[in-house]
C-alpha cells in the first residue's frame, strides 16, 4: 500500500533539509513545551530562522499537537518530527498532550514530569538527524539539556516571559524579599530596582512560601538548574522595550539573555497567505469598522480558571459598559443566562480557538481586557492596542505591573479588596472599561502603545532594530 501523501511530503522536506545541511547550512532544532502559549512563539521563531539563507529547522512535537504545528509551518521548509507523548500518566487522559486540554492546571506537575519519558525517543530522532548546530527548547523541558550535551551541541532555553518579570522575580528570590512581610499584599521594595514595589501576591504560592517544598518545588529546581547550565536564553522581547532590564540581567548573570522578538512579527501577513473564508468573528469586526465603532477585545488565555461567580460579574460589567466587545471564552465556560441575546447588537461571544493576533490587528479593536500573558502583551504592543490588565496566574501580575507602571500602556482593573488577586465586581470593571475605551487615560495609553508598536516593528527589521542582529549573532557564534 503506498504511503500517505503527507508522509511523502514530510520525508521529502526532511531530505531537503538534510541536503541543505550537507551544503553548509545551519541546522536548528526547536522543541516547545506542550502548551499553546509556549508553542506559538517557538513556531514564530522557526519562521524567523527560515528567513535566513542556509538555515534548516527541525521542529519537535507530539502526534496530537502535530496538526496545529503543520498548519503554522505550511509552505515552509521546516522538517517536523513526532515524538509520542507518554501514556497512562495518572490523572491525565489518553490523547491529552497539551496543557490547555488538562481538566485542571493542578495537573501541571505530573504532566510536565511525564515529558521526561520522551527523552529516549527524542534522542533516537537526534541520532537520525543531520548534525545539529544548536537547539532552542522550552525552559520547562529541563531534561533536553542532557540530550544536547550528549550529542555535543549548545542548548538555548526559551523563557516565555519578558526581562522585567525575569529580573524582578530573580532579584526577589536571590534577596529573599518574599520571606519578610506577613501580609500577601504588603508592598515590598525590589532591592535592585527601588522604584518598583511588589507584593507576595504578585507571585504564585510556590514562590511566596517561606519554606517551599514538594513535587512542584522539586520540578522548579530542576528547571532552574537546567536553564542556568544552558548556553544562553532566548527571550521573546526586544531591547528597546526594556533596555534597563536586559542590561541588568546580562550584567549580573552569567547566562546571557538574547532578545529576538517580537516573535509574532515573523508570521506572514494575512494577505500573503492562501486566501480563505474569513472567520465569523472577523466578519463581525469588519461590520463594526464599517459603522465606525471601536471594539474591546476580551480574552484571558487558555489556562486561566475563572469561577462562575466572577464570569457573571464580567458579563454584567461588559453589558453595563455599553461598549462593543468581542469576548473569547473557554468552551467549558458556563452559559450566561440570556446575556448573549441581550448584547447581540454590540457584543459577540466566541467559544473556540481564535487567531488572537489577527483580532488585535483589526482596525476596529481599540482595547484589550487581558490576563497579561507575555504573548498577549507582545501582540498587543505590536498591534498598538492598550491593555486593561487583569492578571490571573504565573508571572502575569508582574507583566501587569510592567504594562501599567513601567511603560504605561495600560490601566489596571480594580479588585474589591485592593489585592492583586482579589475579586472584581462589575461596577469597577464597567468603570475601567469606559476609562480605557473612552477616557483621557485611555487616550494617553493608546498614544504611548502606538510608539512602542513602531519600535517593535523596527526591532525585527534587518537594517533598523536590535532583534535581527541579535539572532544573527547567535547563528554566527554557534557556527563557530
Assess whether 447 and 472 both reside in one domain. no
Is the CB of residue 340 less than 8 Å from the CB of residue 349?
yes
Residue 131 pairs in a beta bridge with: none
Is 273 a member of any domain? Answer: no
Residue 272 DSSP code:
G
Assess whether 222 and 290 both reside in one domain. no
Burial track 221-250 (b if 16+ CB lie within 10 A, e otherwise): ebbeebbeebbbbbbbbbbbbbeebbebbe
pLDDT score for 13: 47
pLDDT, one tens digit per residue, over 143-182 is 999 999 999 999 999 988 999 999 999 999 888 888 877 7
Task: Please indicate whether residue 111 or residue 420 has the higher confidence score (pLDDT).
Answer: 111
CA neighbor of 82 nearest in space, from 67, 96, 72 = 67
CA neighbor of 325 nearest in space, from 368, 379, 375 = 368
Assess whether 222 and 330 both reside in one domain. no
pLDDT confidence tier of residue 420, bands split at 50, 70 and 90? confident
Assess whether 52 and 201 both reside in one domain. yes
Is 306 a member of any domain? Answer: yes
Number of domains into which the chain is organized: 2
In whole angstroms, give the CA distance from residue 318 to residue 203.
28
CATH number for the domain spanning 217: value is 3.40.50.2000
Task: Tell me the C-alpha to C-alpha distance, in Å, between residue 111 and each of 133, 141, 285, 332.
Answer: 29, 11, 37, 21
pLDDT score for 330: 75
pLDDT score for 9: 43
pLDDT score for 286: 94
Is 409 a member of any domain? Answer: yes
Give, rounded to a whole angstrom, the gap between the first and last alpha carbons of the chain: 45
In whole angstroms, give the CA distance from residue 212 to residue 220.
11
Is 330 a member of any domain? Answer: yes
pTM above 0.85, yes or no: yes
pLDDT, one tens digit per residue, over 450-465 is 999 999 999 988 877 8
Assess whether 207 and 301 both reside in one domain. no
pLDDT score for 353: 83
Assess whether 251 and 327 both reside in one domain. no
Considering the chain, what is the average pLDDT of its residues?
A: 88
* 469, three cell numbers: 542582529
CA neighbor of 406 nearest in space, from 158, 41, 162 = 162
Is 245 a member of any domain? Answer: yes
In whole angstroms, give the CA distance from residue 365 to residue 294.
6
Assess whether 415 and 357 both reside in one domain. yes
Task: Please indicate whether residue 24 or residue 426 has the higher confidence score (pLDDT).
Answer: 426
pLDDT, one tens digit per residue, over 320-356 is 999 999 999 876 566 777 888 898 889 999 988 888 9
Is 403 a member of any domain? Answer: yes
Q: What angle do CA 22, 71, 329 make, to 5 degrees?
A: 145
Phi, psi for 195 (deg, rounded to 5): -80, -10
pLDDT, one tens digit per residue, over 228-254 is 999 999 999 999 999 999 999 999 998
Is the CB of residue 29 less than 8 Å from the CB of residue 147?
no
* 183, three cell numbers: 501580609
* H or E element that contains 55: strand 55-61
Range from 135-144, 300-309, 435-444 carrying the lowest mean pLDDT = 300-309
The distance between the two most distant Cα atoms of the chain, rounded to a whole number of Å, is 69
Assess whether 137 and 26 both reside in one domain. yes
pLDDT score for 332: 59
Assess whether 329 and 259 both reside in one domain. no
Assess whether 226 and 197 both reside in one domain. yes
pLDDT score for 90: 84
pLDDT, one tens digit per residue, over 13-58 is 455 444 444 434 899 999 999 998 899 999 999 999 998 888 999 9
Range from 171-180, 189-198, 278-287, 448-457 carrying the lowest mean pLDDT = 171-180
pLDDT score for 358: 92
In whole angstroms, give the CA distance from residue 308 to residue 74.
39
Task: Tell me the C-alpha to C-alpha distance, in Å, between residue 248 and each of 168, 190, 244, 428.
Answer: 10, 13, 6, 37
In whole angstroms, give the CA distance from residue 120 to residue 420.
43
* 211, three cell numbers: 519554606
Assess whether 141 and 206 both reside in one domain. yes
DSSP string over 218-260: HHHHHHHHHHHTSSEEEESS-GGGSHHHHHHHHHH-SS-EEE-
pLDDT confidence tier of residue 308, bands split at 50, 70 and 90? confident
pLDDT score for 2: 46
Pairing of strands 193-198, 188-190: antiparallel
Assess whether 155 and 205 both reside in one domain. yes
Is 272 a member of any domain? Answer: no
Domain that holds residue 324: 278-458
pLDDT score for 134: 96
Is 300 a member of any domain? Answer: yes
Amino acid at each position: 500500500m503506498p504511503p500517505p501523501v503527507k508522509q511523502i511530503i514530510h520525508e521529502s522536506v526532511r531530505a531537503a533539509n538534510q541536503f541543505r545541511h550537507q551544503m553548509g547550512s545551519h541546522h536548528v532544532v526547536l522543541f516547545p513545551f506542550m502548551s499553546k502559549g509556549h508553542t506559538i512563539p517557538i513556531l514564530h521563531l522557526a519562521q524567523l530562522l527560515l528567513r535566513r539563507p542556509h538555515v534548516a529547522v527541525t521542529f519537535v512535537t507530539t502526534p496530537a499537537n502535530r496538526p496545529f504545528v503543520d498548519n503554522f509551518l505550511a509552505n515552509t521548509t521546516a522538517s517536523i518530527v513526532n515524538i509520542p507523548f507518554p501514556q497512562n500518566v495518572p490523572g491525565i487522559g489518553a490523547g491529552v498532550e497539551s496543557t490547555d486540554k488538562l481538566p485542571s492546571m493542578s495537573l501541571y506537575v505530573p504532566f510536565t514530569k511525564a515529558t521526561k519519558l520522551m527523552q529516549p525517543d527524542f534522542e533516537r530522532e537526534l541520532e537520525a538527524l543531520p548534525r545539529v548546530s544548536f537547539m532552542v527548547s522550552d525552559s520547562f523541558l529541563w531534561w533536553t539539556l542532557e540530550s544536547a550535551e550528549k550529542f555535543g551541541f549548545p542548548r538555548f532555553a526559551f523563557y516565555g516571559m519578558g526581562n522585567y518579570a525575569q529580573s524582578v522575580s530573580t532579584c526577589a528570590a536571590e534577596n529573599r524579599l518574599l520571606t519578610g512581610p506577613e501580609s500577601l499584599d504588603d508592598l515590598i521594595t525590589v532591592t535592585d530596582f527601588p522604584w518598583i514595589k511588589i507584593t507576595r501576591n504578585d507571585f504564585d504560592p510556590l514562590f511566596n512560601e517561606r519554606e517551599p517544598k514538594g513535587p512542584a518545588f522539586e520540578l522548579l529546581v530542576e528547571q532552574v538548574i537546567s536553564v542556568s547550565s544552558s548556553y544562553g536564553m532566548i527571550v521573546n522581547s526586544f531591547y528597546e522595550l526594556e533596555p534597563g532590564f536586559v542590561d541588568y540581567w546580562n550584567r549580573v548573570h552569567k547566562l546571557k539573555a538574547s532578545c529576538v522578538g517580537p516573535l509574532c512579527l515573523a508570521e506572514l501577513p494575512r494577505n500573503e497567505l492562501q486566501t480563505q473564508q474569513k472567520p465569523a468573528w472577523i466578519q463581525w469586526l469588519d461590520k463594526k469598522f464599517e459603522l465606525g465603532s471601536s471594539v474591546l477585545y476580551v480574552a484571558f488565555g487558555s489556562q486561566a480558571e475563572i469561577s462562575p461567580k466572577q464570569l457573571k460579574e464580567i458579563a454584567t460589567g461588559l453589558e453595563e459598559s455599553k461598549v462593543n466587545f468581542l469576548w473569547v471564552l473557554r468552551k467549558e465556560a458556563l452559559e450566561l443566562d440570556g446575556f448573549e441575546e441581550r448584547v447581540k447588537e454590540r457584543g459577540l461571544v466566541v467559544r473556540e480557538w481564535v487567531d488572537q493576533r489577527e483580532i488585535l490587528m483589526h482596525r476596529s479593536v481599540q482595547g484589550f481586557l487581558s490576563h497579561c500573558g507575555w504573548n498577549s502583551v507582545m501582540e498587543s504592543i505590536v498591534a498598538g492596542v492598550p491593555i486593561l490588565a487583569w492578571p490571573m496566574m504565573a508571572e502575569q501580575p508582574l507583566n501587569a505591573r510592567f504594562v501599567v507602571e513601567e511603560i504605561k500602556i495600560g490601566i489596571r482593573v480594580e479588585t474589591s479588596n485592593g489585592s492583586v488577586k482579589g475579586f472584581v465586581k462589575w461596577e469597577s470593571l464597567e468603570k475601567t472599561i469606559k476609562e480605557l475605551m473612552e477616557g483621557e487615560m485611555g487616550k494617553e495609553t493608546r498614544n504611548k502603545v502606538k510608539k512602542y508598536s513602531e519600535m517593535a516593528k523596527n526591532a525585527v527589521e534587518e537594517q533598523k532594530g536590535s532583534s535581527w542582529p541579535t539572532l544573527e549573532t547567535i547563528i554566527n557564534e554557534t557556527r563557530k
